[in-house]
Amino acid sequence: DSGVTQTPKHLITATGQRVTLRCSPRSGDLSVYWYQQSLDQGLQFLIQYYNGEERAKGNILERFSAQQFPDLHSELNLSSLELGDSALYFCASSFGQEYNEQFFGPGTRLTVL
Amino acid sequence: DQQVKQNSPSLSVQEGRISILNCDYTNSMFDYFLWYKKYPAEGPTFMISISSIKDKNEDGRFTVFLNKSAKHLSLHIVPSQPGDSAVYFCAALGGFKTIFGAGTRLFVKA
């Protein structure tokens, strides 16, 4: 158990809909990262927050947005969903901003029908 | 544009032998590297890391080697055990970006 929690575990929705994925980092960790893993693909870095502020951005679509709240939990919002958004979404946390090992949650499996 | 490549999608090794997992990167800004192991239905688990100021880091059965001039790193597992069967990802860090390779599936046969 990494100490990172993600909810929900599974999510099934329809094209055009909007969903919110939630992540609680390990106690004491200030950074939260979001990754997308499509079928048989590697992990694609989406975005990083550090202590409530956006720190780095990867290949995140404009339809996706995220935020980190004062209690350090984070939410990833996916809107106007398309079939290709079906994937595993992982959240990770670390203490620092960079050069830290990241601890991953179990992931949320999103299926868009 | 694949900045971090794991060219072997899978690797099969006999129990007790050495497993060597390879990773190549293209961007010189990367200066910290990590290896993660992933079992099905779980998130990746950190295994070992190496900074660009080193060329080797050991932790028990696991050793990571870094060749900066070749932009290549490798993870050695010796002796390999059936419980090591998983997907292994290398990751490169630099400029506040973390780039993962596509992963190599390791099968350790008993």
Residue-wise DSSP of A20-86: EEEEEPPTT--EEEEEEE-TT--PEEEEEEETTEEEEE-S--TTEEEEE-TTS-EEEEE-S--GGG-
Mutate: best of B2, B32, B45, B46, partner A, most A CBs <10 A: B46
- By CA distance, what is A102's nearest residue in B? B46
Q: Span B22-45, mean pLDDT?
A: 92
The predicted-structure confidence for A6-60, as pLDDT tens digits, reads as follows: 999 999 999 999 999 999 999 999 999 999 998 767 889 999 999 999 998 988 9
Contact flag A104-B44 (C-beta cutoff 8 Å): yes
Residues of B in Cβ contact (< 8 Å) with A56: 95-97
* pLDDT attached to residue B1: 61
Q: What is the Cα Rg of chain B in Å?
A: 13
* pLDDT attached to residue A3: 92
A98 inside 8 A of chain B by CB = yes
